[in-house]
Structure 1
Amino acid sequence: MKASHALPKARLPLWATLAAMVALSGCITLLALWCQPNALRTVVDIFRAQPLLIVLNALPIGLLVVTFTCLFRNVFFGAALVNFGVCVLSIANRIKLEVRDEPVFPRDFALLKEVGSAMESYDIQYPMSTIAVVLLATLALVVLGLFIGCRPFPLAPLRGWLGRLLGAAGSMGILVALLLTVYASNDLYNSFRVSNAYYIPSVFNELGFPYCFCHQFTTYPIDRPAGFDKATAASWETGDQPGQGEDVHLIMVMNEAFSDLTDDPAFTYTEENDPLPNLHALQSDPHAVSGHVVVPGFAGGTANTEFDVLTGMQTNALSASTTSSFRVVNRDLDSVLRVFASDGYHTSFFHPGDDWFYNRENVYDWLGAEETVFVDEMENLTYKGRWVTDDYMAGFIEEKFEEAVAQGELLCNYTTTIQNHMSYTADKYGEGYVYPPVETDAQLTDDVRTMLEVYIEGARDADAMLGRLVDYFSQTDEPVVLAFWGDHLPYLGDNQLAYTQLGSEVGLPEEERVNTLCSYETPYVIWANDAAAEVLDWGSAVESLDLPETNRLSASFLGAALLELTGRGEESPWFAFLNQLRRELPVVQKKTYMTMDGTLTPLITSDQLSMIDQWRQWSYYKLRYKEVE
């Protein structure tokens, strides 16, 4: 800086400094947007139609320019630092989008070590011309700062470091306040028109990286549990003992919106027209165990159920505010898939949807799936309406199972279906599709009757998928355990309209329900073919699970129970702990607990409360700190 004082300098008056701040902030914003993979012209067209986006993208950059201008007392030095920092982030966002199809989030700053390791794993094509432009622009601003300064602030008491610090703190304070209010607003964020609101990379490209990055500061939070101690949590991560389990294939199928809604007394189905004959047959099969799994959400949140089952953590416990579990995953995690992989299994995930939805492409890599197959890699697809059929997915599982057997591999697979996804409108399966009538003595409006007809048609197909898989695996000599359950109850109209007309408890306010879990219960069945039943000594294996009288389980305990059922209950200290907790409280749903005799209560013992606290702290440690080898 001493050398710069020796150079002849022009001094900008206050008004010119302010004008330069505005102009430079706009230029930095444009340059940051230009660094993105989509064409700047496309972004400008979107901003022209939604001009508020111009302000939302430029404002945080402008406030940063003010901050560093105050500190350096030079608008060009301040702009140079902001330009370099913002554009480096923007280029990093571009690279991450191209490599992982995922934007840069603020939480990535906590993963710099992992980022360094990941960079060695990818063939990254750096945008050298873009990097050169950013460096040249930064250098040009530095040079301008050497020759053009700012006049002293008009108020003499604010010309020293006090004034610099007050100015910087004031602008940063405004920025933080905006991040916690305006930029945190989901209503504002969701009000902008985008081509695909569920595809986060596209949203970042269309709404602008600076705005979206700022919005993400307050989304998908993970609350630090009270009293958390990293060293204590790390001490629980000892005692892995792979290789204890029995050699049986595990096929897990989570079926979209699968429920036993038609078992409600309002329906009058008979054995002849039962929509769920296969589920009901398995409920009395000596090689099957069935009950209800308590999932994290109602009428949505498919990925949250996947997260709960596979990791043993609970979406609802991650934060006091609503969050999306797959959006908080950004590192390798322990999972059911990893336990089977440690025993030499081929682990896989199949889903007839897009790989970017819920960021599944990346998350299942972090969960340890060796193979992931999404709709774009599936051949000869069969659709019913707009969704790939459950019957196709049954065939796909069979095909992949045969591949694994032919290669001498044991298979651990998780499949999430999609056919019975909402909306349940008359045209879901095409114009003119004839649905079997709903068998009920409830008084239904026409729109509710239509919703139920469409939904139950999908439930029939889901049950047929279950039956097909059971028939298929019954005919193989390979030992196979099949687990089949629903991800959540179906959405059947605003304010639980169809449930209300059916007289279901789901349609009542929660405080009026006898079963406070009714909105979150979906059926599950775990079945073993003859070969697996023999290998596992099925009767003894099921009995040793110590399931509660009602056979109800939180989704977070289902994966742990499957590990124990196949002889892997003690391979992982984490899942061993979950099975211990399951024997105390088979269901934990926010502040509602179910004891082994089926009693629902908000009150638990101090020892049980201590186990819950350990569960939360251990989960936080895994999400934030644990290095998975």
Structure 2
Amino acid sequence: MKIRDRFSKIQLPWWGSLVAAVLLAGCITLLALWCQPNALRTVLAHFKAQPLLIVLNAMPIGLLALAFTCLLRNVFFSAALVNLAVCVLSIANRIKLEVRDEPVFPRDFALLKEVGSAMGTYDIHFPWGVIAVVVAASVVLAVLGFFCKGQPFPIARLRGWLGRVLGCAASFAVLTGLILTVYASNDLYNSFSVSNAYYIPSVFNELGFPYCFCHQFTTYPIDKPEGFDKAEAESWETGDETGLGKDVHLIMVMDEAFSDLTDDDAFAYTAENDPLPNLHALQNDPHAISGHVVVPGFAGGTANTEFDVLTGMQTNALSAATTSAFRVVNRNLDSVLRVFGSDGYHTSFFHPGDDWFYNRENVYRWMGAEETVFVDQMEDLDYKGRWVTDDYMAGFIEDKFEEAVENGELLCNYTTTIQNHMSYTADKYGADYEYPDVPLTVSVSPEVETMLKVYVEGARDADAMLGRLVDYFSATDEPVVLAFWGDHLPYLGDNQLGYAALSSEVSLPEEERSDPLCSYETPYVIWANDAAAEVLDWDTAADALDLPENHELSASFLGAALVELTGRTGESPWFDFLNQLRRELPVVQKKTYLTIDDTYTKLISSEQEQLIAQWRKWSYYKLRYKDIG
């Protein structure tokens, strides 16, 4: 006689099993939420104010419990299994938040190898008390399963394995359908009130881990390119060397919303009141290259431009759906920082914002930055309104440059500024701040006039930062190349309000513009001080880039051009390929292209199409498969 047969057992009718599954799902949901680092009472307070969150968090757990109840014919065995799986995932989320300030995403299941290797690199404090409670709860549920079982399903044909499998499959089908519809809804997700919508860990804590985890199944997608072959892509990763480049410091500054909007005919600036004198001076400097960089987004998406410039991939090509490039990064990547790091450079990233924003702290580590410095690590901050000034960041770069020189290091740095971030309202720099007038040749509303005054004040400060850095590096004997550009055009009101008032082509549909990509173009300048110009043989190196006459480039080619300009052709097959593609199509923006003869087109040759296809496949390989130690 079996041990379990010695004890009386309770048989639950099918409806009893269903009720038990619902109740147990609620308990498992509470336990999973309790496993999180934030207080359970805080989560429940959010749920009380937004009751739909209770259903959204419990529903997937309930469907999982129902699926295994059908399969095992025992609601308590099912609950034990689901409790263990869900709570282990919740504990993993807690640990990941504590060591990397990033939640667990569904895509992490594809990275188990990386997770295993990463375990040894972090000082992980396992919540043994929480783990013990979860294990104990699962054991109790399993024991209850020995004493309680479900009655056969009332329909005779469904009492065997066919019924079990169909019931399980139906539950999973409903769950899948909900994940692809209800849980995939960004409108629903964004409708819930949270303390900080941009801080993903906080959102997970406040909306509930089960709901947020299910929502992430359909966010930040990467589409597999047609015809992708992993072995083929791997074969392209050959022929790299190190140490071929010229020894020059590389300082890259991406300035928030920096543009040459004020060069438009709608403005009446003169040489005496020009808000961009330093940019204009460098456009005529014999040791400078200037033009426009075509960035991935309009009036936003700062991190996407960082991704494009540093990796040479394109945010807009990752998926047919809108995505955030930094959110798809979860492994070490090739980047401009890695190329210079392989040559012994000290690589760094500076940003006077929070390290969690866009997950920058983790992403820059994956892109090879040895040092990252965010606002909480900066001292004696200088603010203009609520943002750290561009002038402060210029001084910070200078201090870090001197530190590198004192240590005998060459510096490769990427800095993203923040001062000219929107919104451009009158109180941006304080209620009593007086903005210089903006001379215009057109009549605009007071609302637009205010936006322009506030924005131009920030652009003026950005240009002053450029001038300060040029003056500083001009005075050093160290060879320095400075690259300076804007991350995107400014946001000037809904429906391009400010641009329409200026009669700018930016406010027109693409097909009605003389420049179809004008809403994505920001100015860039690459300048070398005298020492760097001599080391690089500037005229020869600049001419060898074979830039189009208007010097326009996709953001994805800007970093590659810097790699080549500093003599590093041959160090990276990836960046060599990008420079080859750049010579064919200097600008690729979705299905619009700029050819080397400065012609915009949507039709390219079959050979160029093959290069674009290789670019997409290679990018996918790097994001999903390439191992970098």
Q: TM-score, normalised by structure 2?
A: 0.99
C-alpha distance in structure 2 between counterparts of 1:10 and 1:618, whole Å: 59
Q: Paired residue for 2:25?
A: 25
Matches within 5 A, 1:147-162: 147-162=147-162
Match of 2:438 in 1: 438
User: Are residue 581 (structure 1) and residue 581 (structure 2) matched?
Assistant: yes
Match of 2:493 in 1: 493
Q: What residue is the counterpart of 1:208 in the other structure? A: 208
In structure 1, give the amino acid aligned to 2:290: S
Deviation at residue 549 of structure 1 after TM alignment: 1.0
- Structure 1 counterpart of 2:187: 187
1:70 aligns with 2:77: no
Structure-to-structure mapping, 1:316-327, within 5 angstroms: 316-327=316-327
Q: CA deviation at 1:5?
A: 5.8
The secondary structure found in structure 1 opposite 2:525 is: strand
Contact 2:265–2:441 (8 Å) recurs in 1: no
Shift of 1:7: 5.1
Distance of 1:612 and 1:241 partners within structure 2:
25
Residue identity matched to 2:624: R
The alpha carbon displacement at 1:569 in A equals 2.1
Gaps of 5+ in 2: none
Contact 1:296 1:305 (8 Å CA) reproduced: yes
SS at match of 2:349: strand
Match of 1:298, SS state, is coil
Structure 1 residue 37 corresponds to structure 2 residue 28:
no
Whether the 8 Å contact between 1:12 and 1:151 is mirrored in structure 2 is yes
TM-score for the superposition, normalised by structure 1: 0.99
Match of 1:534? 534
- The residue that corresponds to 1:313 in the other structure is 313
Offset, 1:513: 1.1
Q: Residues 399-429 of structure 1, C-alpha deviation per residue, up to 9 Å, x if partnerless? A: 0000000000000000000000000000000
Matched, 1:221 2:221: yes
Q: Distance in 1 between matches of 2:10 and 2:219?
A: 45
2:106 corresponding residue in structure 1: 106
% identical aligned pairs: 79
Give yes or no for the alignment of 1:592 onto 2:582.
no
| C-alpha distance in 2 between matches for 1:441 and 1:108 | 55
Taking the TM superposition and a 5 Å limit, the aligned residue runs for 1:163-174 are 163-174=163-174
Specify the alignment match of 1:198 in structure 2. Answer: 198
CA RMSD of aligned residues (A): 0.9
Q: Matched residues in 2 for 1:425 and 1:123: separation?
A: 45
Which amino acid letter does the alignment assign opposite residue 38 of structure 1? N
CA contact (8 A) 1:278 1:466 kept: yes
Aligned mates of 1:186, 1:15 — CA distance in 2 = 35
The DSSP-based 3-state class of the residue aligned with 2:527 is strand
The amino acid of 2:288's aligned partner reads: A
* Paired residues of 1:87 and 1:134 also in contact (CA < 8 A): yes
Cross-structure match for 2:468? 468
2:364 match: 364
Instruction: Give a deviation string over 1:264-307, Cα, whole Å, max 9, x none.
Output: 01111000000000000000000000000000000000000000
Counterpart amino acid of residue 321 in structure 1: A
Assess if the C-alpha contact under 8 Å between 1:290 and 1:525 holds in 2.
yes
Whichever residue aligns with residue 274 of structure 2, its letter is D
Could you list the per-position Cα deviations for residues 357-389 of structure 1 after superposition, in whole angstroms to 9, with x for gaps in the alignment? 000000000000000000000000000000000
Q: Alpha-carbon deviation of 1:13?
A: 1.2
Instruction: Give 2:9's aligned residue.
Output: 9
- Once residues 569 and 445 of structure 1 are traced to their aligned partners in structure 2, the CA distance between those partners, rounded to angstroms, is 52
Contact 1:480 1:532 in 2 (8 A): yes
Does 1:410 pair with 2:415? no
Contact 2:438–2:452 (8 Å) recurs in 1 = yes
Q: Which residue in the other structure is 1:393 paired with?
A: 393
Matched, 1:247 2:247: yes
Aligned residues: 629
Counterpart for residue 279 of structure 1: 279
Regions of 4+ moved over 4 Å: 1-7
Secondary structure in 2 matching 1:240:
coil
Q: 1:85 to 1:583 in 2, by over 3 A?
A: same
User: Could you say what secondary structure the match of 1:120 adopts?
Assistant: helix
SS in 2 for 1:482: strand
Q: Within 1, Cα distance between the matches of 2:626 and 2:22?
A: 44
Give the deviation of 1:2 after TM superposition: 7.1
Answer whether contact 1:550 1:597 (CA < 8 A) is retained.
no
Residues 338, 368 of structure 1: 8 Å contact kept: yes
Counterparts of 1:506-585 in structure 2 under 5 Å? Answer: 506-585=506-585
**1:136 to 2:136 alignment:** yes
- Equivalent residues of 1:560, 1:569 under 8 A apart: no
8 Å contact from structure 2 (residues 7, 147) kept in 1: yes
Q: Which residue of 2 aligns with 1:53?
A: 53
Query: How far off is 1:8 after superposition?
Result: 3.5
Q: Which amino acid aligns with 1:85?
A: A
Do 2:237 and 2:574's aligned partners in 1 also have CA atoms closer than 8 Å?
A: yes
Question: What is aligned with 2:452?
Answer: 452
Query: Aligned in 2, Cα 1:554/1:4: closer, same or farther, shift over 3 Å?
Result: farther
Which segment is superposed worse, 322-331 or 563-572?
563-572
Contact 2:303 2:326 in 1 (8 A): yes
Counterpart residue identity of residue 155, structure 1 = I
Shift of 1:82: 0.4
